[in-house]
Amino acid sequence: MVALVAGMQLIATAGHGDHGKSTLLQALTGMAPHRGEEGHPGGPAAEPGFAWLTLPSGGRLAFIDVPGHERALPNVIAAMGQVPAVLFVVAADQGWSPQSAEHLAVIDAMGIGHGLLVVTRADLADPGPVLAEAGRLIAASSLGKVEALAVSAVSGEGMPALAEALGSLAGSLPPADPSGPVRLWVEQVSCAPSRPGEEGGEALVTGTMSGGTVRVGDELVVTPSMRPVRVHAIEALGEPVPELTGPARASVVLRGVDPERLGKGMALVQPGRWTLADAIDVRLAAPAQAQAAADEAGRAAPRLPRTATVYAGSARTVARVRTLSDKIARVSWRESVPLHVGDRIVLREHGDRAARGRPPKPSDLVAAQGGSQPGGTPASGQSTRGLIVLDVAPPSLGRRGSSSSAAAELESWPDPPAAADLLRRHGLLRASAVLAMGVSDQPEPVTGEWLADPAHWAELAGRLGEAVTAQAAREPLAPGLTVEAARTAIGLPDRRLIDALIRPPLRLRDGLVQVTSVGTVGDAQLSAALTAAVKILLADLASAPFASPDADRLRHLGLDLRAIAAAERAGLLLRVSDQIVLAPGADALASRVLAGLPQPFTAAEARQALQTTRRVAIPLLEFLDRAGVTQRLPDDRRRLIQPPTD
Ligand SMILES: Nc1nc2c(ncn2[C@@H]2O[C@H](COP(=O)(O)OP(=O)(O)OP(=O)(O)O)[C@@H](O)[C@H]2O)c(=O)[nH]1
Ligand SMILES: [Mg+2]
């Protein structure tokens, strides 16, 4: 039966060259660890191999067999970045060796927490001392104390116990997350065999993904160009499969892309699920070994260089490092790399002196292939630093002091940071951007897809209020601030945020943000001239509350329509119609007067009772009708339907 989904657990080997890693895998799996797609075991010494076995549980355990040559270190880092566990091999007759230390430093930098120690070639020497020494060194790394076994791939001694230990290791690994975001780091590219009758470019890409599910027919994008490609076929563990969940190593046939345009260091990613980062803020992972050594020597871990090589997946790039504190740094480079908050990446000092101090060039984003970078292997694992990505779209650091406050803030973040942490830093973020940062657990949006930090949101509401009242003070006659002007005033990226921020005393009317507050606020905002004019008017109305000034009187007082509207907004006047202006509360007074009339009453009776003219009485009655205070009957008489309030 063909497996519908070729799931697998991924483990990388680790250990110095010639210590017996590949031989061990061959003995375990019965297959010579393939080196790449062509699978020639004798292939380039720097390329990792691949082999797998079926566990008694039915699950498959696949091994990325890294080469132990120092030239292969970039490939070792690429492999370690994708696996949850390692099989650490040390030869009984060779003992702990330089690449054992290098590999352990990489494992530690990546924070890998699962593994086995296998002392091989136990037929050639007593494995005891090596088991003890390697066990002690490994225990000081992120692996901690691991199960240790001695084996001989030649005599077969210890192999059954190893198979059993691998089974329980596989069982202890974190379960796959099929709904996770897909990022398949490209390791090898070749032309896919052409099919009769089919046109267009096809590429066969081999790579590793740490999670998510790829299906035949999916559209992915190639980083950094973001060119879309279609998955035409998937092959894993030697079989074609319709879908594949990571962690996995797979070959995919891609449609719509010229193989020439693909290469190691690129990645196939799910659209919208990754941030293409060219600057990140990171926490320096405390190197267990270096830390232990530093504690012993009573000094801090070595400082970061200003330029270094950053390894992320199968990509590596020359990067600028700005140290923000002893725990936090900003790392930037020219090309874009698909990253998430919480990703572990590795930074290494340049071995290449010529590269030191030179600004990174686009061509610096090169595949992590072994040996192509001259002198890329410093002598000590101390120069390998693990970085925990905290922010993949960090704000620019301008002023002096902003770097130390940024560091202080980032130091307080948990690993991995949550949406609330990112929002506290950024204030406002789109939900889609936060998802692309790798954070799917998100708070409710404030509007549309906008997420806001609660404190920042409250501050924005305050700033909007200030912007509107400041404008009202500056231009008392203006009817309010346009939404766009309000957006610009408080520097928001989207007008819809203004709508969401409006709450009393702010209101939105006719596309304008206005303050509805009355009384003293209004007094303070109106110009002295307008306030004086309104006072004169109110003095007139005090003795004859329904004797609205006529047009001439208003003109002489300088009260045009805008001025009257401003005074009304400030609660200083009651505007019955464009021509009729009374004191605030005149409507309540009118209803009390009208309550004294026999019901229903005519307009003439009302005019007499109110001691006013028809010019005022008719609009006032209509105003009261609209306000639901009076009701106009079919015979044009009215009755009071709302009892007067005092
Ligand atoms: N006697 C003996 N020889 C072994 C054993 N395991 C491996 N060897 C030999 O050790 C040599 C190196 O083995 P490999 O498996 O190629 O070592 P490796 O760790 O894969 O080396 P690189 O790929 O270069 O890192 C070969 O000649 C093997 O035959 C063992 O258990 N006993
Ligand atoms: Mg090998």
Q: 333: left (phi > 0), else alpha (psi -120 to 50), else beta?
A: beta
Mean pLDDT of 559-576: 85
Give the closest residue (by CA) to ligand 1 atom 23: 67
Mean pLDDT of 11-28: 96
Distance 97 CA to ligand 1 centre (A): 15
From the CB of residue 36, how many other CB atoms can be counted at a distance below 10 Å? 17
Q: For the CA atoms of 376, 379, 382, 387, what is the dihedral angle to 10 degrees?
A: 10
Q: How far is CA 528 from CA 352, 555, 561, 583, in A?
A: 74, 17, 18, 19
For residue 636, the one-letter residue type is D
Decide: residue 31, CB within 10 A, 0-12 exposed, 13-18 middle, 19+ buried: middle
Closest atom of ligand 1 to CA, residue 153: 31
Distance 162 CA to ligand 1 centre (A): 17
630 lines ligand 1 (CB under 6 A): no
Q: Which of 280, 484, 489 is nearest to 390 (CA)?
A: 280
Distance 63 CA to ligand 2 centre (A): 12
Q: Which of 283, 346, 308, 353 is nearest to 75 (CA)?
A: 346
Decide: residue 22, CB within 10 A, 0-12 exposed, 13-18 middle, 19+ buried: buried
Instruction: Identify the pLDDT of residue 300.
Output: 54
Q: Which of 251, 311, 249 is nearest to 10 (CA)?
A: 249
Instruction: Identify the pLDDT of residue 196.
Output: 61
The two tokens of residue 538 are 């109110």
What is the band of 291 on the pLDDT scale with cuts at 50, 70, 90?
low
Distance 597 CA to ligand 1 centre (A): 113
Decide: residue 392, CB within 10 A, 0-12 exposed, 13-18 middle, 19+ buried: buried
Mean pLDDT of 189-202: 70
What is the band of 184 on the pLDDT scale with cuts at 50, 70, 90?
very high
Q: Which residues of 179-214 are buried (b: 16+ CB within 10 A; e: fewer)?
A: ebbbbbbbbbbeebeeeeeeeebbbbbbbbbbbbbb
Q: How far is CA 70 from CA 222, 377, 487, 560, in A?
A: 30, 7, 57, 86
Percent of the chain with pLDDT over 70: 85
121 lines ligand 1 (CB under 6 A): yes
22 lines ligand 1 (CB under 6 A): yes
Spatial separation of the C-alpha atoms in residues 322 and 571, rounded to whole Å: 56
Please give the span between the terminal C-alpha atoms of the chain, in angstroms, as a whole number: 88
Q: For the CA atoms of 77, 81, 87, 92, what is the dihedral angle to 10 degrees?
A: 20
Closest atom of ligand 1 to CA, residue 68: 25
Q: For the CA atoms of 287, 288, 291, 296, what is the dihedral angle to 10 degrees?
A: -160
123 lines ligand 1 (CB under 6 A): yes
What is the distance of C-alpha 565 from the center of its chain? 47
Closest atom of ligand 1 to CA, residue 72: 25
Are 341 and 351 a contacting pair, CB within 8 Å?
A: no
What is the band of 34 on the pLDDT scale with cuts at 50, 70, 90?
low
For the stretch 104-122, pLDDT in tens is 999 999 999 999 999 999 9
Are 145 and 172 a contacting pair, CB within 8 Å?
A: no
pTM of the prediction? 0.76
Spatial separation of the C-alpha atoms in residues 489 and 329, rounded to whole Å: 33
The two tokens of residue 364 are 């610096």
Closest atom of ligand 1 to CA, residue 23: 15
Are 348 and 380 a contacting pair, CB within 8 Å?
A: no
Ligand nearest to the backbone CA of 68: 1
Instruction: Identify the pLDDT of residue 353.
Output: 37
Residue 521 has pLDDT above 50, yes or no: no
What is the band of 132 on the pLDDT scale with cuts at 50, 70, 90?
very high
Spatial separation of the C-alpha atoms in residues 123 and 635, rounded to whole Å: 117
Mean pLDDT of 343-364: 60
Q: Which residues of 102-117 are buried (b: 16+ CB within 10 A; e: fewer)?
A: bbbbbbbbbbbbbbbb
Are 565 and 554 a contacting pair, CB within 8 Å?
A: no
35 lines ligand 1 (CB under 6 A): no
19 lines ligand 1 (CB under 6 A): yes
Percent of the chain with pLDDT over 90: 62
For residue 202, the one-letter residue type is E
152 lines ligand 1 (CB under 6 A): yes
638 lines ligand 1 (CB under 6 A): no
103 lines ligand 1 (CB under 6 A): no
For the stretch 581-638, pLDDT in tens is 999 889 999 999 999 999 999 999 999 999 999 999 999 999 999 988 999 999 999 9
Kindly report which listed range (39-48, 282-291, 454-463, 484-493) carries the lowest average pLDDT score: 39-48
Average pLDDT of the chain?
A: 85
Closest atom of ligand 1 to CA, residue 16: 25
Are 313 and 273 a contacting pair, CB within 8 Å?
A: no
Distance 208 CA to ligand 2 centre (A): 19
Instruction: Identify the pLDDT of residue 525.
Output: 53
Q: 189: left (phi > 0), else alpha (psi -120 to 50), else beta?
A: beta
548-557's contacts with Cβ under 8 Å and 24+ in sequence apart are 548/576, 548/579, 548/580, 548/581, 548/582, 548/612, 548/615, 548/616, 549/581, 550/615, 551/579, 554/581, 557/533
The two tokens of residue 112 are 């890998």
For the stretch 71-103, pLDDT in tens is 899 999 999 999 999 999 999 999 999 999 999
Q: For the CA atoms of 69, 73, 75, 77, what is the dihedral angle to 10 degrees?
A: 140
From the CB of residue 98, how many other CB atoms can be counted at a distance below 10 Å? 15
For the stretch 358-398, pLDDT in tens is 444 444 444 444 333 333 333 444 489 999 999 999 998 87
377 lines ligand 1 (CB under 6 A): no
Instruction: Identify the pLDDT of residue 1.
Output: 40
Ligand nearest to the backbone CA of 121: 1
Mean pLDDT of 290-304: 59
Ligand nearest to the backbone CA of 50: 2
Give the closest residue (by CA) to ligand 1 atom 2: 121
E strand residue ranges, 272-394: 275-284, 307-312, 315-323, 328-339, 344-349, 366-367, 384-391
Distance 14 CA to ligand 2 centre (A): 10
Strands in 9-14's sheet, in edge-to-edge order, are: 34-35, 49-54, 60-65, 9-14, 85-91, 114-120, 147-150
Interaxial angle between packed helices 528-543 and 561-569, expressed in degrees from 0 to 180 and rounded to the nearest 10: 80
Closest atom of ligand 1 to CA, residue 26: 15
Name the pairing type of β-strands 49-54 and 34-35. antiparallel
Distance 460 CA to ligand 1 centre (A): 66
The two tokens of residue 570 are 């400030």
Mean pLDDT of 479-483: 87
Closest atom of ligand 1 to CA, residue 152: 31
What is the distance of C-alpha 598 from the center of its chain? 71
Spatial separation of the C-alpha atoms in residues 61 and 29, rounded to whole Å: 9
Residue 308 has pLDDT above 50, yes or no: yes
Q: How far is CA 224 from CA 266, 371, 635, in A?
A: 7, 24, 78
Give the closest residue (by CA) to ligand 1 atom 10: 20
The two tokens of residue 593 are 């007067």
Distance 70 CA to ligand 2 centre (A): 12
Instruction: Identify the pLDDT of residue 296.
Output: 57
